[in-house]
Structure 1
Amino acid sequence: MEKKRILLGMSGGMDSSMSAVLLQQQGYEVIGATLLTHTDETDSNIIAAHKLANERHIKHHLIDCRTQFKNTVIQYFIDEYTNGRTPNPCIKCNETIKWKLLLEAAEKYQCDYIATGHYVRKEQLNGRYYIKKGIDPNKDQSYFLWNLNQTTISKALFPLGELHKQEVRQLARELGYTDIADKKESMGVCFLSGTDYREYLKELLNPNHPAFSSGNVVDEHNTILGKHDGFPFYTIGQRRGIEGVAKGKCVVRIDAKNQELIVGTRETLNTSSVTLSNYQLTDNTSLWKDQKVFIRIRGLDSVPGYWGTISINSQSLSIDFDEDVWAITPGQSIVIYDKDIIIGGGIS
């Protein structure tokens, strides 16, 4: 019987590398693809991906998408911050760059499926595919894949979804890939490379960019308390940088048009509901109509989720939480679950 061919997104890290091993063990013919997004061919991760592919006798393709990535993901990153919003570039990349290009490559190289090293699973219910939480609660990455479409999910396989991170690390050691097993895990936004986003914005934009101009810090009564040094350098809930003019207060709103930071008490940021105008939601109403759903407002493991109910009002989706939620920030993703499966999501 002819082997099923699968295109694997290879980043050079442990997760995608061990995904290659597992897929081969399952009988797939693996074709590797690495996206060149913001670095060049000399990047250590690119070299590691190519090395692993050679060792596993995997045909490896490099997809240069630097221009697309810059014009789409990095520009979105800039636009959101300079409009007083908080972006999530990883989610934007998944939707517009990563999976789109992997699907195109899979078709080009006649692959039946595509795979990545995400710690997620997928499930099919009533003819529809859903992203499902990974078995490892400390590594679940489902939050970042809420906006994938049906075509993409139907083609996707996730070899690590049923495994814990430590099991994957142990497999790498058993196979002699100790350098991969002990490799420091990349965290955060890839193109920041550990740099503070504020410094990155300064590098990208002209120092005289209007967003970097000093503006007023005002309270809820519009009383001017002092000055800030550029509104993109602040986020909702932040206290650092305003203590000198607004002791005991935090940023509760960013008015980009007037270049103002509005400050108030921490309690001001508590909310019992949120409305999403940019959203998607499963048409299987049995999973959400008059049902309690679980909502995540951030992808961090340290931020708990919340229970609530959802309703559709005209062109928007409303979520009523069972308890107050603190600091929902304009621009962030709100992801909705029924048990372990993602049934919808949107941008606040």
Structure 2
Amino acid sequence: MSKHGKVLVAMSGGIDSTVTAMLLHEEGYEVVGITMKTWDYANSGGSKKETGCCSLDSINDAREVAVMMGFHHFIVDIREEFGDYVIDNFVDEYLAGRTPNPCVLCNTHIKWNSLLKRADALDCEFIATGHYAKIKHENERYFIQKSADLNKDQSYVLWGLSQECMARSRFPLGGMTKPEVRQLAADLGYEELSKKAESFEICFVPDNDYRGFLKRRVPELEGQVAGGNFVTTSGEIIGKHQGYPFYTIGQRKGLGMAFGQPMFVTEIKPDTNTVVLGTSDELIRNGMNVGQVNNHKYATIPSDLELVTKIRYKDPGALSTMVQTGDHVAVNFMANVKGVAPGQSAVFYEGDDVVGGGIIYGGHKFGEN
């Protein structure tokens, strides 16, 4: 019998998940590896060569590690489930004038559910991934904490995990830095793996061109939305755009026109195919509404707390106060914040602890509803 129990490890073939499996194996867990195929690159229509977690090479790399270390490895095809939920949501959100975060949605509704389902079938008490984050249990609550490597910290994309998911999850890399992970792989004899490059793209958009993906996914889209108006915040028409789904809040480059001064996308109006442009100052928001909130550290967010709110993955965050009503949170920023984008995730931190997170419904200035 294993020392710590049986754990199902999500293995992409990359360095992080491989070292995760190695560490758990060395700690005395009975490791079972699983690789989930979520997407066919051929179906994306992009020009980039197939690489990353769903490629045949990556699947073979994961299996090779399992064979070398002597534990079972399974490949699970979840392409239909992934496509129906994550990709359809991705397209629908852009068509609604919002900016989706598919990695958060995938973690919350696809990967963890799939892992727990297979873990139960294989009698595994735990699941593990190569995420750079920590899990803490305190006052009968489980919550995510930032990793030791703040440059690699992935706590932001894990706000949607349920209490059950966190109770059964293990993140062995949470206390390590990326250079330490690479060195460990090299020390264990995986020199080539230790030098393997990382991918930062959305897995089903391998050429990193989401606009091209939308056009291929919805062929009639371009003809329906091209030629809408660019307008100022006062309503003045100042040009024509290529279609509202192809723009995001805060965007400055790629507008296709010169305006004599830097102009940014401040609002997207899908009903009229209108993209509102404004100056940098017109991007400022003093607060926002957040829905679909999932609480981590507290059952309800205390209204007397001052928390740091991140509105995007690499956002340093802004000091905020908030009031929670059900799964909705009204956030007031204590400093001006730019680029609040509906559809993106807002994550609330108390120090290194994730208090909760949700989906941004919209930003506002003081005096606005």
TM-score (norm. length: structure 1) = 0.94
8 Å Cα contact 1:81-1:87 kept in structure 2? yes
C-alpha distance in 1 between matches for 2:291 and 2:108: 18
8 Å Cα contact 2:2-2:29 kept in structure 1? no
8 Å Cα contact 1:211-1:231 kept in structure 2? no
**1:44 pairs with 2:45:** no
**Given residue 215 of structure 1, which amino acid in structure 2 is its aligned partner?**
G
| 2:50 aligned partner | none
C-alpha distance in 2 between matches for 1:156 and 1:88: 22
Among candidates 227, 251, 264, match of residue 250 of structure 1:
264
Shift of 1:194: 3.5
Shift of 1:20: 0.7
| 2:226 aligned partner | 213
In 2 relative to 1, CA 309–285 (structure 1 residues): closer, same or farther, beyond 3 Å?
Answer: farther
Among candidates 284, 289, 297, match of residue 311 of structure 2:
297
Shift of 1:288: 3.5
Which range moved further: 199-208 or 51-60? 199-208
**1:89 pairs with 2:90:** no
CA shift digits 1:32-91 (9 cap, x unpaired): 111110038762211211111111112111110001111101111111111111010000
Among candidates 293, 305, 308, match of residue 279 of structure 1:
293
Among candidates 330, 333, 357, match of residue 345 of structure 1:
357
8 Å Cα contact 1:10-1:34 kept in structure 2? yes
C-alpha distance in 2 between matches for 1:19 and 1:334: 28
8 Å Cα contact 1:288-1:309 kept in structure 2? no
C-alpha distance in 2 between matches for 1:321 and 1:192: 33
8 Å Cα contact 1:297-1:333 kept in structure 2? yes
Which range moved further: 51-60 or 113-122? 51-60
CA shift digits 1:236-275 (9 cap, x unpaired): 1222243626442221101011111111111111111111
C-alpha distance in 2 between matches for 1:233 and 1:316: 28
Q: SS of 1:257's equivalent?
A: helix
Q: SS of 2:160's equivalent?
A: coil
Among candidates 112, 118, 126, match of residue 139 of structure 2:
126
C-alpha distance in 1 between matches for 2:264 and 2:229: 14
In 2 relative to 1, CA 318–108 (structure 1 residues): closer, same or farther, beyond 3 Å?
Answer: same
| 1:153 aligned partner | 166
Which range moved further: 154-163 or 311-320? 311-320
Which range moved further: 49-58 or 99-108? 49-58
Q: RMSD in angstroms over aligned alpha carbons?
A: 1.9
Among candidates 116, 122, 125, match of residue 109 of structure 1:
122
Q: How does 1:19-34 map to 2 (within 5 A)?
A: 19-34=20-35
C-alpha distance in 2 between matches for 1:53 and 1:164: 24
**Structure 1, unpaired ranges of 5+:** none
Among candidates 243, 260, 266, match of residue 274 of structure 2:
260
Q: SS of 1:110's equivalent?
A: coil
**Given residue 281 of structure 2, which amino acid in structure 1 is its aligned partner?**
E
Identical counterparts, % of pairs: 39
8 Å Cα contact 1:214-1:228 kept in structure 2? yes
C-alpha distance in 2 between matches for 1:70 and 1:286: 33
C-alpha distance in 2 between matches for 1:5 and 1:224: 62
Q: SS of 2:285's equivalent?
A: strand
How many residues are matched?
A: 346
Q: SS of 2:88's equivalent?
A: helix
Shift of 1:207: 4.0
Shift of 1:2: 4.0
Among candidates 122, 142, 147, match of residue 155 of structure 2:
142
Shift of 1:209: 5.0
C-alpha distance in 2 between matches for 1:108 and 1:282: 27
**Structure 2, unpaired ranges of 5+:** 42-53, 361-369
C-alpha distance in 1 between matches for 2:59 and 2:197: 15
